[in-house]
Amino acid sequence: MSGNQTSSVSGPGLKRVLGLWALVLYGIILIQPTAPMPLFGAAANLANGHVVVTVLIGMVAMLFTAISYGRMANAYPNAGSAYTYVTREIHPSLGYFVGWGMIFDYVMNPIICVIWISKAAMNIIPEVPFAVYAVAFTILFTAMNLRGIESSARTNAIIAAGLGVVIVLFLGSAIRYLLLNPPAAGAWTKPFYDPQTFSFSAVSAGASLAVLTYIGFDGISTLSEEVHNPRRNILLATVLVCLITGVLASIQVFTAQMVWPGTKFPDQDTAFVYVAGRAGGQWLFHTINFALIIATIGSGSGAHLGASRLLYGMGRDNAIPHKFFASINPRTHVPSKNIILVGAVTLGGAFLLTYPLGAQLLNFGALIAFMGVNVSSFVRNFLRNKHKTFVNFIVPVLGFTVCLYLWLSLGYKAKIAGLCWLSAGVLYGAYRTSWFRRPLQFAKIESDDEKNNQD
């Protein structure tokens, strides 16, 4: 059957209606403009106060990785994930390994959201214990996703606009506070470099956590079929989102550090809320606290759904047991078994982990995925490309190198737990393949080049 005939009998397709700036706005909404606020206290503690530097280092790493991601999204516009890229470009076994690491990333996200929201809720009603909040928010995430409720683009845009107002309120209050209480002349450079507390190891540890600010930018590639000129705009939007996020995040944490120069807070996990309270008083304390609770509920429920969908995708591809993980509820059309499983893991993790450790565990898996994307881009755009250019060589190499540096800078507890998880994945993969005597079976995903050849 010819291409025209196929088109005539197929159903309606997605319309290419999104321009570059609509895509950039979507990416900023996806990451959330207040992304550095929840991790501010933990990053300040790890980096001895140099939070701005950690955010900027994370931005550099993500900019190179964003270019690699954009290039790979052009090759695989219908399946934008590191799991797919590594499977297709390098080897299915390595793709499985990256996918296994991504499970760690995705499952940790709702855990740290539950931890943070529970701590923030205690700022409002401290008489209710953490355990009650953790159970309540975990049940909320699970129930929302079991009912098939997904946030609409309009709702996300409203939330992002509200968070933008909150940022403006904080910055305005902080500037007023600093005008009324001017810091000493030398204090303005200390967020970037304080000779009394600076150390490369501390800043590296902080940067390995601050990467969390940018998690989610890769979701831009999921709109490839709805974007004008996707080969140009997906790549450009991914880079611009990382750049804009980095600048906004740097301004927020720099201002916060000027208002609260030290690293000792009443509560490390919700430190930014206390900074806001110092800058603007109790009204701003409660405004920021409430706004971040709403934002984190959105992030947490979305992360919960994303984790269940990743498990479904890997189950459908037979990388993990198909019968359980690839099942769909016939009534709600969601992977309900996965949603319940992620809910159970989230609840357990909320009691076993702290926010900083959970965030580092998340980044353990995310950085593995980012390294996989950079290697895939190197293989496709340099090794297999007839026209070998310096840009095609240096961008993925730098992206991989910086991500590897941040990965190695994670805390030892995160690395031990992560390596145990990866080891479990290797053992399971060995079991599934009779100790690697046969390949893992994955669903075939065609690239644009293959589709064009078929047409």
At 414-432, the pLDDT tens digits run 999 999 999 998 888 788 7
Question: Contact 231/74 with Cβ under 8 angstroms?
Answer: yes
| Separation between Cα atoms, residue 147 and residue 166, nearest integer Å | 30
Exposure string (b/e) for 172-189, b if CB count within 10 Å is 16 or more? Answer: ebbeebbeeeeeeeeeee
> Model confidence at 245, in pLDDT bands (50, 70, 90)?
very high
Q: Name the phi and psi angles at 18, rounded to 5.
A: -95, 130
**Distances from the Cα of 151 to the Cα of 1, 29, 220, 341, 408, angstroms:** 39, 12, 16, 21, 35
| Separation between Cα atoms, residue 390 and residue 426, nearest integer Å | 35
pTM of the model: 0.84
Lowest-confidence segment of 157-166, 355-364, 435-444 by average pLDDT = 435-444
Two tokens, residue 302? 């979305």
Look up residue 365 and give its DSSP letter.
H
Half-sphere exposure of 213 (CA within 13 A, CB side): 39
Two tokens, residue 226? 């709805």
Kindly tell me if the per-residue pLDDT of 42 is higher than 80.
yes
Lowest-confidence segment of 195-204, 320-329, 400-409, 436-445 by average pLDDT = 436-445
Percent of the chain exceeding pLDDT 70 equals 87
Mean pLDDT of the 443-452 span: 49
pLDDT at residue 308 in the model: 87
Cβ atoms within 10 Å of 294's Cβ, excluding its own: 14
> Model confidence at 171, in pLDDT bands (50, 70, 90)?
very high
Question: Contact 159/18 with Cβ under 8 angstroms?
Answer: no
Two tokens, residue 440? 């893992």
Instruction: Considering only residues 50 and 221, tell me which one the structure prediction assigns the higher pLDDT.
Output: 50
Mean pLDDT of the 342-352 span: 95
| Separation between Cα atoms, residue 236 and residue 66, nearest integer Å | 9
Kindly tell me if the per-residue pLDDT of 453 is higher than 70.
no
At 321-338, the pLDDT tens digits run 888 988 888 887 788 999
290: exposed, middle or buried (Cβ count in 10 Å: 0-12, 13-18, 19+): middle
Mean pLDDT of the 204-222 span: 83
Q: What residues contact residue 150 under an 8 Å CB cut-off, 6+ apart?
A: 305
Cβ atoms within 10 Å of 3's Cβ, excluding its own: 10
Kindly tell me if the per-residue pLDDT of 6 is higher than 80.
no
> Model confidence at 11, in pLDDT bands (50, 70, 90)?
very low
Kindly tell me if the per-residue pLDDT of 229 is higher than 90.
no
**Distances from the Cα of 135 to the Cα of 114, 343, 350, 359, angstroms:** 9, 10, 9, 20
